Amino acid sequence: MHLPIEHTPLRVDVVRAAPESAGVIGFPVTTDGTVPRGLGLSRKALAQHGFTGARGATLVVPSSAKATVVAIGVGDAAAVTPAVLRDAAAALARAVPGWAHVATSLAHVSSYPGVDQAEAAQAVVEGVRLATYRFLALKADRSGAPSIDALSLIVPAKAAAQASAGVERGLVIADAVRFARDLINTPPVHLTATRLADIAIEVATAAGLDVEVWDERDLVEQRCNGLLNVNRGSTEPARLITLRYRPRGARGHVALVGKGVMYDSGGISLKPSDASHAQMKMDMSGAAAVLATLITLPALGCRSAVTGYMVCTDNMPSGSALKLGDVITYRNGRTAEIHNTDAEGRLILADALILAEESKPDAIVDIATLTGACMAALGPKMAGVIGNDQALIDRVLDSSKHTDELVWQLPLHRPYRKMLDSQVADLRNIGGPLGGAITAALFLAEFVGEVPWAHLDIAGPMGVDADEGWLTKGGTAFGTRLLIDVVTRHEPRRRTR
């Protein structure tokens, strides 16, 4: 199968009134205040149909003479945010999956204190574009998927410029997320580390980025021994992919590091034979998020330099596989004893973190489907963030709120470092049965030096079992929108602990 996968593009127009070609017109309705006149129904009539305006609710009002009208609940007017509008747009897209042209009214956005027209337009575009995503590349029958290919946003003339800017940004970001989802949902037989490297070269070059790929010989020469050792059990070679975005007059430099385990069997520490195995194609979600983030930056006019590192390999059992008790010597001289080969993500991330630290960026952010412990602590809808710099962590948390990609801070509790003590090496790669998300972060902290660093553990929200809001069943590409927000709003700061 050839990637990137082609998707039907979404045409978005900013208009003052719904065009005649629109088959559906959606109207946001709050639980309080006035009902949009264009809906043609009073609040009493809506209530008679069981519609109260609750967030995410929809009421379809068909008509043979004109466009179908859809009421979309957005809840309390005072609590409407871009996240609410994103989910509302997703609900509209799912309520009318058979229509090619949908219009939705943003005429009353100015009455919502939490959003402006640009934010509203961006959120609506993202909601529609992401809710209609389906991975159909391997299906013979591709019918039944949402088929919205035209969207009209109804806004006042004075807000058209703002809305148009939001539309442009929303399309760039949503299509990047869709691209990342394609990568994450592709089975490992179709997407190896070498194939991902080829794709990275193709899409990054097209975006105007510099791309460098290290093969086995380069990895040996550069002493990337974490990646080489994890790759020992696989017949597919490893790759380390570096992407560089360098705008003229860059204000600062951020390094992003993504875990790219194309398939994780657990290695010699084999995972149990259950449903988790089928999800392990998603263990490269961090690398997909980094690639998707980097290719948006020229179009979004990011003013900071950004370097992305993708560390890519399988983790497989074989006669040559990494063994328990083996010791890895890293590029910076640190040594790690292996006590569990299923804790492989930290071993390969260490290589990229060392390289990132050597470039002396303002900040390093890594993203990885790293630990079941984080999923156990925070559940399936929330990522954990841990780091050595509170200002950087606060920036990540702020971007989490801005993008509605939920993140919760966990402590980098230094006294737990002794749980990683080894008798034969500088540290071992696991710290015991408790506090696994924290000890994993403490392992990574050994490789970032004094550079401000934040670690995103996205094991929980890497995939979902059913459509919900802007998420669709399968790989979510969680963290892509968050990373884009972090780097495009980056301002070099003094470090604080």
Catalytic residues: 271, 346
Whole-number Cα distances in Å, 176 to 2, 195, 291, 341, 401 = 18, 18, 9, 32, 20
Q: With CA atoms as reference, report the closest residue to 384 among 489, 468, 460, 474.
A: 460
Cβ 245 vs Cβ 483: under 8 Å: no
Separation of alpha carbons 382 and 400, rounded Å: 10
How far are the Cα atoms of 216, 217, 284 from residue 221, in angstroms, in the given order? Answer: 9, 6, 24
Q: How many CB atoms lie within 10 A of CB 3?
A: 18
Q: How far apart are CA 63 and CA 60, in angstroms?
A: 10
Structural tokens at position 83: 């996240």
Q: List helix spans (H) across 280-403.
A: 285-300, 345-358, 372-378, 390-403
Give the phi and the psi of residue 36 in degrees, each rounded to 5.
-55, 130
The type of residue at 237 is: P
Q: From CA 261, how far away is CA 282, in angstroms rounded?
A: 8
Q: Which two tokens stand for residue 389?
A: 């710099």
Task: Check residue 481 and give left, alpha or beta (phi > 0: left; psi -120 to 50: alpha).
Answer: alpha
The residue written with tokens 């596989």 in the block is 321
Q: Are 235 and 209 in contact (CB under 8 A)?
A: no
Residue 242 phi, psi (nearest 5):
-115, 130
Q: Can you read off the two tokens belonging to residue 419?
A: 């749980």
Tokens of 421: 């003590």
333 in Cβ contact with 424 (< 8 Å): no
Token pair in block for residue 175: 């299509």
Name the DSSP letter for residue 490. -
d(CA 192, CA 201): 14
- Sign of dihedral through CA atoms 204, 201, 171, 89? negative
Integer Cα distance of 312 and 295 in angstroms:
18
* Nearest Cα to Cα of residue 364 among 383, 344, 392: 392
CA torsion sign, 484 to 489 to 491 to 495?
A: negative
Can you say how many angstroms the Cα of residue 234 is from the centroid of all Cα atoms in its chain? Answer: 27
Q: Looking at 56-190, which runs of residues are DSSP E strands?
A: 58-61, 68-75, 101-105, 150-154
